[in-house]
């Protein structure tokens, strides 16, 4: 068994090395700009030299991995691969923030990321909306906006991945630069503004992925051995959420969300109405009691009028902002309970600049703040919403999660599931197994035998 695993891993390392050398995306960008009026060769962009360093480090890791697998079983090698990304990840900090983001998505889309082969501990498994999650740790919307890398991201060990926000018509979003790091604070400010390739492109990608899985199931083949198949949904192992947005110039927000439902819901294990991005003018006004009630009714009706199989339609959630007043939270809770909303995501980014971010010169940039400084604000709101909804609606805790202890605090505050994004951007793939391991220790430390037992524990 160990011999077969070693051989498989060695083949992977050789294949990885070949693909990395023969198809290097960084190398392909070295001639993308030139000095006006110059007759010499095009100037190398400032990130190109750093990119070559990153490429060299990655190749070095692949070579080292190929040598290592001869004495390691598959699980041990898998752990080594995740730890090895800690060496590569700091190089991303040398690149422009948005370019680094695109590079990370491209790597995941091409399978140039570690794949989790170790099963999740049973204590982390749970069932929500009739769907089985192997663990409660998910990737928030905004990372894979156009559903380019769902297979690679789910393969890294996330319990679920949320793509989007997806708008009906393609749009560029706000002018660049629009992503700013605050590394010392573990934070990011972004004002991307729903940059999206649009519903048609995303639907084609998700449709192709769905068809690939159906073909594998009917032919009795799979990309992984049958004993590695984890609980999951329409996209295969792992749960896929689709986050819907509206176009910047749209005058009928409800029509945009309805269009998203009609085109994408058949590929989604759950749907999200995003009414809380601070980077689209007027969007947050849809969180008002009357506006939200009217919107949710129309979207629910659009979903329910479609034909569904035995599993029924995908659950519908709403993602809200962390900058709401107590009265606004009460209104949202009332709408959610009255319309039997399937869940809420708490929260999106904040327009506030809490300490110590306020002392950073970058804090003056417009946009939503995410990362460590958002944790207290979003977690307190999560706790309030759990109380207001009386624990009757599943809540996804999002904002500032970068450790298993952070995830555990969200769960105790009332979260059924937890999402991260900025923590993943800084910590890289190695953070995923680390969070799960730490979360197991937290549960066992306090005597919980399952995630379900810990949900809302702070309220008891």
Catalytically annotated residues: 277
Surface-to-core class of residue 289, CB atoms within 10 Å of its CB (0-12 exposed, 13-18 middle, 19+ buried): middle
**DSSP state, 180?**
E
Q: Is 301 helix (H, G, I), strand (E, B) or coil?
A: helix
Nearest-angstrom CA–CA distance, 214 and 209: 9
Q: Give start and end residues of each alpha helix (H) in 69-110.
A: 74-92, 97-109
Residues 6+ apart with CB under 8 A from 106: 25, 148, 149
Surface-to-core class of residue 351, CB atoms within 10 Å of its CB (0-12 exposed, 13-18 middle, 19+ buried): middle
CB 314 within 8 A of CB 210: no
Strands 239-244 and 160-166 come out as parallel
The DSSP H or E segment spanning 441 is helix 431-445
Nearest-angstrom CA–CA distance, 460 and 457: 5
The DSSP H or E segment spanning 231 is none
What's the chain's Rg over C-alpha atoms? 22
Residues 6+ apart with CB under 8 A from 158: 135, 137, 138, 139, 238, 432
Strands 236-237 and 232-233 come out as antiparallel
């Amino acid at each position: 068994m160990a011999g077969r695993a070693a051989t498989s891993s060695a083949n992977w390392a050789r294949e990885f090395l070949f693909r990395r050398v023969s198809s290097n995306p960084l190398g392909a960008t070295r001639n993308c700009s030139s000095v006006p009026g110059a007759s010499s060769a095009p100037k190398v962009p400032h990130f190109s030299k750093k990119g070559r360093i990153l490429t060299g480090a990655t190749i070095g890791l692949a070579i080292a991995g190929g040598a290592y697998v001869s004495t390691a079983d598959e699980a041990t090698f898998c752990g080594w691969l995740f730890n090895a990304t800690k060496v590569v990840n700091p190089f991303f900090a040398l690149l422009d923030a948005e370019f680094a983001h695109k590079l990370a998505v491209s790597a995941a889309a091409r399978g140039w990321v570690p794949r989790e082969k170790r099963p999740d501990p049973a204590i982390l498994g749970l069932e929500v909306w009739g769907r089985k999650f192997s663990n409660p740790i998910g990737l928030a919307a905004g990372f894979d906006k156009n559903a380019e890398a769902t297979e690679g991201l789910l393969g890294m060990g996330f319990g679920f991945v949320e793509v989007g926000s997806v708008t009906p018509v393609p749009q560029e979003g706000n002018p660049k630069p629009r992503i700013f790091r605050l590394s010392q604070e573990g934070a990011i400010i972004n004002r991307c503004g729903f940059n999206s390739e649009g519903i048609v492109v995303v639907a084609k990608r998700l449709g192709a992925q769905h068809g690939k899985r159906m073909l594998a199931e009917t032919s009795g083949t799979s990309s992984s051995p049958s004993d590695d198949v984890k609980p999951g949904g329409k996209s295969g192992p792992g749960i896929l959420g689709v986050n819907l947005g509206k176009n910047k110039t749209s005058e009928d927000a409800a029509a945009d969300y309805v269009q998203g439902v009609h085109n994408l819901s058949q590929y989604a294990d759950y749907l999200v109405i995003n009414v809380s991005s601070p980077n689209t003018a007027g969007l947050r006004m849809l969180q008002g009691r009357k506006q939200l009630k009217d919107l949710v009714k129309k979207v629910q009706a659009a979903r329910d009028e479609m034909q569904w199989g035995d599993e029924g339609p995908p659950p519908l959630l709403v993602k809200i902002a962390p900058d709401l007043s107590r009265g606004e939270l009460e209104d949202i809770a009332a709408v959610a309970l009255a319309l039997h909303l399937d869940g809420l995501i708490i929260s999106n980014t904040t327009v506030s600049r809490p300490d110590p971010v306020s002392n950073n010169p970058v804090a003056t940039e417009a946009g939503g703040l995410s990362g460590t400084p958002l944790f207290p604000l979003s977690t307190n709101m999560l706790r309030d919403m759990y109380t207001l909804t009386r624990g009757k609606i599943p809540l996804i805790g999002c904002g500032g999660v970068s450790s298993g202890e952070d995830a555990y605090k969200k769960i105790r505050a009332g979260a059924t599931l937890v999402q991260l994004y900025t923590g993943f951007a800084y910590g890289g793939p190695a953070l995923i197994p680390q969070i799960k391991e730490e979360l197991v220790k937290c549960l066992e430390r306090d005597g919980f035998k399952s995630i379900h037992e810990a949900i809302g524990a702070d309220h008891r």
